[in-house]
Chain A
């Protein structure tokens, strides 16, 4: 079953660039989105979508002498990766990916993996080394530069392999059921509570017991 998306790959093995960030946050969240195709919106994702709407119109333009591409399709044949970069600036002819985020909600690591994966795609597509990129935080209007060192690149490659295995096995990893869940937009789809086996068994026993008799 050769892919119609990426030559040489099976569709089931292709990883979305955005999955890296999801996976780094929570493997189950990643599986819910990329295996089960659930997407539930909450305030954070709505805000995220709003910010993305600002940048998610495919076009290229010049701004202050810098060539900018928005919503640029990106891919890597070597890594089996596809996606879209919010913004790619061309400094000289060196691509510089900028990922837009609605707020400082997430820990650095997740965003860094995503933008580094974008850079690795852009390197393969343009044949140029991409040493740096940035995360733009919409709420603070600040940019944070990320350097794509070998350590970060190795982490990207390792995460891609883990995500691919998860997509293949088509099984949901167990819920995290920790503080991550509080801000997760997929809580109601994930039902982290199903991890509490004891409570569920207790409820099940109750089910057949008549109660509240007068």
Chain B
């Protein structure tokens, strides 16, 4: 965990990025657009036709600075990693925990509790700010459902049951998510979560922000030496970053969903930012992607109180802190995993 890690998002086609001593220079068609001291950057995320020079790539790999490549639609393509290093004992403990159902169930349960709790904070805020009684009531009802979920969770000894409680809570939540949309409600209707491809604008918006968040959770896991594919709440599957997905659960509502709602409610995003493809898939256009990525970075700089550390930290650093806390639990250095509790 370094100072505050900033992510450089490169989205302009035909961008060339190179290392000049300790500075990163960004050029578009031969023209210098920006230069940033390397030590200000925590990771570099590229979309589409962007070129990084080899010295820059090697230096980032050496410093464990994450580089990710996406295609122009935001689909993940590649990640640059340096030599495997760090803590083999931690990774070993992470694998061993898979056969310790008591330990993994406890971790998964607390992750889901964190997720439901933080989701509930977002819903309660929505209820407080609701414009009409209908919306308020619907959101309060969702908050009650989420409270039941939390209660059931505290007594649930079984991983499948925990996953069921999570699914149930998510269903209730997405059924009333658009009650928190205050403008353009018709355009941003959502009844349930869908993806691959997203079938409405709100789902497209969420999918995109979740992809940004997932990258951050991946880099948090790798940053502390955890294997991002070995998770406990999420079932293992080839190519699936199960642990990064586990880590992400606590942050979906407070970081991603809340940001999506704000962007819509402040009219920073409207229906013109989306393209509907034949058959129903919905895409976000390039300009809006840029706008959203910038807003996401800003949101990560907002300070929040971390209950375990008992001090204020930028929201963007919290996934790193949580990855560290999880690593401590896996190594037997801390008793139980405490998810981030947003207030």
Contact = CB atoms under 8 A, between A and B. Distances in A.
A171 B333 CA distance: 8
Given A38-B225, A188-B1, A203 B307 contact: yes
Interface residues of B, number: 45
B91 to A, nearest CB: 11
A203 B153 CA distance: 16
Contact of A208 (B151, B320, B324): B151
A203 B338 contact: yes
Given A200-B338, A214-B140, A193 B324 contact: no
Given A208-B113, A208-B153, A212-B121, A193 B1 contact: no
Interface string A195-207: 0010110011011
Interface in A174-214: 188-189, 191, 193-194, 197, 199-200, 203-204, 206-210, 212-214
A35 B86 CA distance: 9
Interface stretch (B51-59, B142-150, B228-236, B293-301): B142-150
Contact of B2 (A41, A170, A171, A206): A41
B341 A188 contact: no
Contacts of A40: 1-2
Interface in B298-343: 307-310, 320-321, 324-325, 328, 331-336, 338-339, 341
A1 to B, nearest CB: 15
B132 interface: no
Contacts of B224: 38, 189
Contacts of B325: 191, 194
B328 A194 contact: yes
B124 interface: yes
A213 B341 contact: no
B334 A213 contact: no
B150 A208 contact: yes
Contacts, number: 89
Contact of B308 (A203, A208, A212, A213): A203
Contacts of A199: 308, 310
Contacts of B335: 197, 200
B99 interface: no
B238 interface: no
Interface in B176-225: 224-225
Interface of A: 35-38, 40-42, 170-172, 188-189, 191, 193-194, 197, 199-200, 203-204, 206-210, 212-214
25 contacts: A36-B90, A37-B86, A189-B324, A191-B309, A191-B324, A191-B325, A193-B310, A194-B334, A199-B308, A200-B338, A203-B307, A204-B110, A204-B336, A204-B338, A207-B114, A207-B341, A208-B150, A209-B150, A210-B120, A210-B146, A210-B147, A210-B150, A210-B151, A213-B124, A213-B147
